[in-house]
Structure 1
Amino acid sequence: MNKLFYPAVFHKAEEGGFWISFPDFPECLTEGDDMQEAYEMAVEALGLVLTGRAEEKEEIPKPTEVDQITVDNGVLVIVEFDMMEYQRKHNSRAVKKTLSIPEWLNDAAIKAGVNFSQVLQEALMEKVK
């Protein structure tokens, strides 16, 4: 569940800009002064609702097929959401981990000036992609 794509409806606001709704998430509404800001706000709003539901262990619905959505007053836009990027941006608090490695490997790594935390982070990032 790294990249998700959900339909959103961008409505022209009377006072200018756009307000955005998501057919799959009726509680998710946002707005922006122009198309770029509206899209960026839509990504953030979608991130909040998806991570909120995940934290509460609520169901995350499959995106509705675009041909199943009727848009009377607005434009249908597909919003891309990258869960890993969102977590990287909003949840980068360091967490201490204890681990064990062979003594010879520890000695060799120290001698080589290896940054253990960096190596572990890089290896984990490669593993979870």
Structure 2
Amino acid sequence: MLSIYPACFFKEDTGYSVVFPDLNHLATCGDTLDEAIGMAVDCLAGYLYTLKKEHQEAPKPSDMSSIDPTAVAADLDLPAGEAFVNMVAVDVNDYAKTHFERSVKKTLTIPAWLNEAALEKNINFSQVLQEALKEKLHTI
């Protein structure tokens, strides 16, 4: 499902700042406009993905015409000279599969006796390692 939110883009000396007024002034930046747009997509996806994982509801996006970049700039002490509002869209589920949930291969070493005992019990090494890491990191 496509999520679309208005974002304010502010031209600065070092590039562009991007602010999502509907999302607690969530912000990112980029050296170029293309980079800022890419960062805005990543930022939006990460924020909405985190809300979903925490079982929180995302706020309803405002109509683009109701966003005043000058007022947003004043709130955040940003230069409003070259500012504009643009909609940023992302399919959070699709983006997460590629960027947040992709698997990485890890090589590890365990004692031979432990390997044999685990194989005898048909233990899934990847699953056990993931569960242990989540527990250790307090994310379960």
Paired with 1:32 and 1:92, the residues of 2 have a C-alpha distance of 25
1:39 to 37, 40, 48: 37
Unmatched 5+ stretches in structure 1: 95-129
Q: Identity of aligned pairs, percent?
A: 30
TM-superposed CA distance for 1:84, in Å, is: 2.6
Structure-2-length-normalised TM-score? 0.61
Paired with 1:91 and 1:58, the residues of 2 have a C-alpha distance of 19
TM-superposed CA distance for 1:33, in Å, is: 0.3
Structure-1-length-normalised TM-score? 0.66
TM-superposed CA distance for 1:27, in Å, is: 4.7
> Counterpart of 1:99?
none
Unmatched 5+ stretches in structure 2: 71-79, 105-140
Residue by residue over 1:72-126, the C-alpha shift from the partner in whole angstroms, topping out at 9 and shown as x without a partner, is 12110110111232122121349xxxxxxxxxxxxxxxxxxxxxxxxxxxxxxxx
> Counterpart of 1:6?
5
> Counterpart of 2:91?
82
Cα RMSD after superposing both structures: 1.6
